[in-house]
Amino acid sequence: MSEPTIPFGEPELWRVSEFRRALEGSGDASRYNSLSPSLLADLMRFERDGESAEVLEVLAACLRHPQNIALHIDRDGHVLPLTVFPRERLIHVPLTPQALYATRFDTARLLQVERALLEPPSETPGEMSAPVAQCHPLGRLLWHLALHGPRGELLPELAGPAVYRIAPDLTPPPHLAGALIGAVGKLQQESMSLRALAAQPGFDHERACRLLNGLYLQAGLIVSRTHPGAAGDSWFTSLSNW
């Protein structure tokens, strides 16, 4: 018998196979359900050969619009229900932070996205208000997925000829250390291309992409496509400007 992936005392999560059967039985197996037209159009850009958008792409789109959404994520064969409140910078999940981050997210796959049924926590909670005890900072999840999730390339909004710099008012999170915090300090002082960042000690192409994605999701990245250093980086392929 395989070992359980959910720590003792935590709620038991649906298995992915059961979740898919339930969707098929309800007659609604759509990956995107009841979303606003603008968010839906954004997500449809990422459809690839029948595959849905990646979790990080969906969260980035949620921050851009923004709209409260509920994601169902395949994590280790179990369905992780995650509600995102972008304006409040909160997430709701029926797990403690320790349980949420106890397993790796490098194979996390998106199963479904829909308009959130829960409402953000409130001083005068209603019937559908998310319990305060089950709400956690969105920023930590964004960093965790950027650094340890399945995506090892730049988000589409960042790709293409560009140089990057960190907004001066950004405070790096306390969990960044070593080469990561060193690169953050350098980006606070000067603009760098992806190639230049990847050449820093302790970095490679993937790690540079992950750091830039994380900074972008924290609304702390300045992207310049007109800087003289943006045109000479042969690693980039031209995409539409954002």
- What would the pLDDT profile of 87-126 be if each residue is shown by its tens digit? 999 999 999 999 898 877 899 999 999 999 999 998 777 8
Asked if residue 154 is part of any domain, the answer here is no
Return the sign of the alpha-carbon dihedral for residues 184, 220, 71, 32. negative
Question: Tokens at residue 11, please?
Answer: 């709620």
Split at pLDDT 50, 70, 90, the class of 238 is very low
The residues pairing with 69 across neighbouring beta strands, listed in sequence order, are: 84, 115
Which of 122, 148, 174 corresponds to the end of one domain?
A: 148
Instruction: Provide the angle, in degrees to the nearest 10, between the axes of the packed helices 55-64 and 138-148.
Output: 140
Q: Are 213 and 155 in contact (CB under 8 A)?
A: yes
Question: Residue 9 falls within a domain, yes or no?
Answer: no
Residue ranges with strand state E in 94-195? 109-115, 135-137, 163-166
pLDDT in tens, 21-39: 888 877 565 678 788 889 9
Residue 157: inside a domain, yes or no?
A: no
**Residues 36, 128 share a domain:** yes
Helix axes 55-64, 205-217, angle to 10 degrees: 30
- DSSP assignment of 18-79: HHHHHHHHHT---SEES--HHHHHHHHTT-BTTBPPPHHHHHHHHHHTT--EEEEEEETTEE
- Name the pTM for this structure: 0.84
Residues 97 and 175 grouped into a single domain: no
Do 34 and 124 fall into the same domain?
Answer: yes
Do 33 and 131 fall within a single domain? yes
Decide: helix, strand or coil at residue 188. Answer: helix
Range of the domain at 79: 16-148
What whole-number distance in Å separates Cα of residue 242 and Cα of residue 237? Answer: 14
**Is 54 in the same domain as 90?**
yes
Mark whether 96 and 191 lie in a shared domain: no
Check pLDDT > 70 for residue 233: no
